[in-house]
């Protein structure tokens, strides 16, 4: 069995009046992500990690923000397509460990719902997807609530 790891990172600006999608669910908040798609940084970080681990470049290569095909697209669709890309190459997901950096709103109670939605999209066991949340103690663009960041590490395997 061959195993590989991948790392993904995404960041989006937060602004008043934008929808806020995170982990495949819509949050109620005064701000949301400025983006070409729905701006779901967690899904984008996971996609990049999966694509990188399988040596399939990055999310921008497969789903460019210059294409009208992806304007306002639900990022769960991008995740589903990403999983198909890696499975077509013979890989399966071992596990995913992700961290969201966000000052507000507090999302700890929403993490189980995010895990359920994303594990269903990727068709993996709930136990194989860890999602954590942190703040930056009011430092940087996350701390000033100007943006959000997400990090993901994945393990994939090829039989």
Q: Is 48 annotated as a binding residue?
A: no
- Integer Cα distance of 63 and 38 in angstroms: 13
Q: Is 136 annotated as a binding residue?
A: yes
Q: Is 62 annotated as a binding residue?
A: no
- Integer Cα distance of 34 and 40 in angstroms: 10
Q: Is 10 annotated as a binding residue?
A: yes
130: left (phi over 0), alpha (psi -120 to 50) or beta: beta
Q: Is 44 annotated as a binding residue?
A: yes
Q: Tokens at residue 4, please?
A: 């590989």
Q: Is 119 annotated as a binding residue?
A: no
Q: Is 36 annotated as a binding residue?
A: yes
Q: Is 75 annotated as a binding residue?
A: no
Q: Is 60 annotated as a binding residue?
A: yes
Q: Is 29 annotated as a binding residue?
A: no
- Integer Cα distance of 73 and 138 in angstroms: 31
Q: Is 41 annotated as a binding residue?
A: no
Q: Where are the alpha helices (DSSP H) in the chain?
A: 41-53, 59-62, 75-88, 111-122, 140-143
**Cβ(152)–Cβ(5) under 8 Å?**
no
Q: Is 58 annotated as a binding residue?
A: yes
- Integer Cα distance of 61 and 46 in angstroms: 15
Q: Is 12 annotated as a binding residue?
A: yes
- Could you list the residues known to form a binding site, using ranges: 10-12, 36-37, 44, 58-60, 134-137, 141
- Could you list the residues known to form a binding site for a divalent metal cation, using ranges: 10, 12, 44
């Amino acid at each position: 069995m061959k195993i590989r790891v991948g790392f993904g990172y995404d960041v989006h600006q937060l602004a008043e009046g934008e929808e806020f999608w995170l982990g495949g669910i819509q949050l109620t908040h005064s701000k949301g992500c400025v983006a070409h798609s729905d701006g779901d940084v967690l899904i984008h970080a996971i996609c990049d990690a999966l694509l990188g681990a399988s040596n399939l470049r990055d999310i921008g290569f497969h789903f460019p923000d210059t294409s009208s095909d992806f304007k306002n697209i639900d990022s769960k669709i991008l995740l589903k397509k990403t999983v198909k890309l890696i499975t077509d190459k013979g890989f399966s997901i071992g596990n995913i460990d992700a961290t969201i950096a966000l000052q507000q709103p507090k999302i700890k109670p929403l993490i189980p719902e995010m895990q359920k939605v994303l594990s269903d999209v990727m068709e993996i066991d709930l136990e194989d997807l860890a999602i954590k949340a942190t703040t930056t103690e009011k430092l940087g663009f996350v701390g000033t609530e100007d943006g959000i960041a997400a990090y993901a590490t994945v393990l994939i395997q090829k039989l």
